[in-house]
Each structure stands twice: as structure tokens, then as C-alpha cells.
Amino acid sequence: MILSMTGYAIATRELAGGLLSVELRAVNHRFLDLSLRLPEELRLIENQLREKLAGRVSRGKLDCRIGFSARAETQPRLQLNTELMAQLVALSEQACAIAPSAGELRMGELLRWPGVLVTDSVTPEAMQQTALALLELALVDFAATRGREGEKLAASMIERANIMAAIVEEVQPRLPAIVAAYDEKLKQRLIEALGSADDDRVRQEVALFAQKVDVAEELTRLTTHIAELRRILKTGGAVGKRLDFLMQELHREANTLGSKSVAVDTSQASLELKVLIEQMREQVQNIE
């Protein structure tokens, strides 16, 4: 599948006291530029979050925002951890049996013991686990969004590749006649200048210029590059950089075709090819 570097996804979940959300936004970029914004409760898992994102996205300017919106009308309520308190009381009684002079734990000491008083708000650990799960959900939706956009880009590029192939196929059979007509025109001009059709210099000049204006090699390479373009788009994956390089090669051949042109047909073909290549190059900038 071809993936676009442009995408958006959001995943949310209700927690005690508020709403936890994971939002992903991405636009095209030459490399992976990751920006991560998250609440302090999630700082401990920042590296995990970054690794998960980098493992699923290879290129693009990716902005990941994780936020927790507390409900103003909801106040955390204190609750007693009766199980822990009972254990502490039992241990206190055992300790007093061994050392009666030490005295039992007072109520204030029991209530200040870590974990005896708890709130019904979400714990940092629970928020961290939920954030990781939400990020996974968001990444699935994010990949689907980029995939749909990538399919549209690939289809558009295939359409232009087919037009390019048709242009090349139209020019190729006419190339011998174009070169022969140019040779004859050049030969007549040289004869007028030198005064003899049997002059070796005429034959050498005609042969030399015929070689310079022969674009058969450029047309062959264009055909090869177009076939490679189709293959890459069919294979899919992170192919943006390969496609960008291929666009440069296609433009080079189309430009050479125009510079060596000696007929309206090849000049027009070169112009049309360069327009199509430039359109595809813009689309490649959005492909991962």
C-alpha cells in the first residue's frame, strides 16, 4: 500500500474525573519530524510513545498530542483502603505483643500510611496504560487515513504514467522518418554550401548530426523508467524517496528529448512529458 504523509486521527476514552485523548496530525516532510505533547503524568512513558510512533511512521512532520481534560464539576473523593488498614492493625497488634512498651499505631498514623487513603480519580499508572492503548487505536485509524489518501495519489500517478507511455509509444515508430527527414534536409544544406553530394565531408557531417539528434535511447529509457514507476506503485511501502529519484531521472530524459529534438513531434512530446512529470513530482512530495 502507498501511504500519504498527510493524515489525521483521534482516539478518546472516558476516565475517572475526565477525558483522555490522543490526537495525531501529519503533513509532508523530507524526514521524520516528531513533535510529542503530553501531560506530566505520562512523562515516564515518553520514550515508549516515541518508539511506537517512530516504528509506524517513517517520514513526515508528525504532531502527537495527548491530553487529559478534567471535568470541573467532578471533585476527587477520599476512600478508605480497608484491606490495607486491617493488615496494618493486625501487624501493630503482633508488634505490641513482642514489644508492649512501643505502643500501638494511632489513628492519625494509620491514615497517613501510604495507600490507606485513596481517591476515585485515575492513577498515573492507569492513565499511562490507557494512553498506550489509545495511541495504538489512533495509529490504526491514522494508517487507514493515510492509506486511503495514498491510494488516490497512486491512482493519479498511474493515470499520468499511462499517458506518458502513450506519448512515447506514439513517437517511437515515427522516429526513423523524423531522423531521415532531418538527414535529407541537412544533406541538402551541406551540398548547397560545399557544392558536391559525393564529398566525404558531407557524409561525415550528416552521420555526425544524425547521431546527435537520434533520441531512440532516451525513448527507451523513458519506457524503462515508466515501467519501474508502475512496479514501485504496485509494490507499495515507504517508496517516497525512490519515487523522488525516479522523477529526476524521468525529467532528465524528457529534457534531453527536447534538447535533441529536430521536429515538432518530439518537441511537443518533450513538453507534454515534462508537464506530466512535474505534476507527479508534486504528488510524490506527499508520499511516505
User: Considering only 63-67, 163-167, 190-194, 214-218, which range has the smallest mean pLDDT?
Assistant: 190-194
DSSP 97-131: HH-GGG-PPPHHHHHHSTTTEEESSPPHHHHHHHH
For residue 167 the three cell numbers come to 506519448
Strands 60-70 and 18-27: antiparallel
- Cα atoms in the Cβ-side hemisphere of radius 13 Å centred on 189: 9
Tell me the pLDDT tens digit for each residue of 5-55: 999 999 999 887 788 999 999 999 989 999 999 988 899 999 999 999 999
pLDDT at 192 over 80: no
- pLDDT-derived band at 180, boundaries 50, 70, 90: low
Percentage of the residues of the chain whose pLDDT score is greater than 90: 51
Residue of 100 and 218 predicted with greater confidence: 218
Provide, for the chain, the percentages of residues in helix, strand and coil under a 3-state DSSP scheme, each rounded to the nearest 5.
Answer: 65, 15, 20
pLDDT for the residue 196: 59
CA distance 121 to 123: 6
Tell me the pLDDT tens digit for each residue of 242-286: 999 999 999 999 998 888 777 788 889 999 999 999 999 999 999
CA distance 52 to 62: 13
For residue 117 the three cell numbers come to 487513603
Strand partners, 13: 20
pLDDT at 221 over 80: yes
User: Considering only 5-9, 54-58, 91-95, 233-237, which range has the smallest mean pLDDT?
Assistant: 91-95
Please give the DSSP secondary-structure letter assigned to residue 60.
E
**247 alpha carbon, distance to own chain's centre:** 17
Report the length, in residues, of the chain: 288
pLDDT for the residue 83: 84
Q: Whole-model pTM above 0.75?
A: no
CA distance 27 to 24: 11
Mean pLDDT to the nearest integer, 204-214: 60
**119 alpha carbon, distance to own chain's centre:** 43
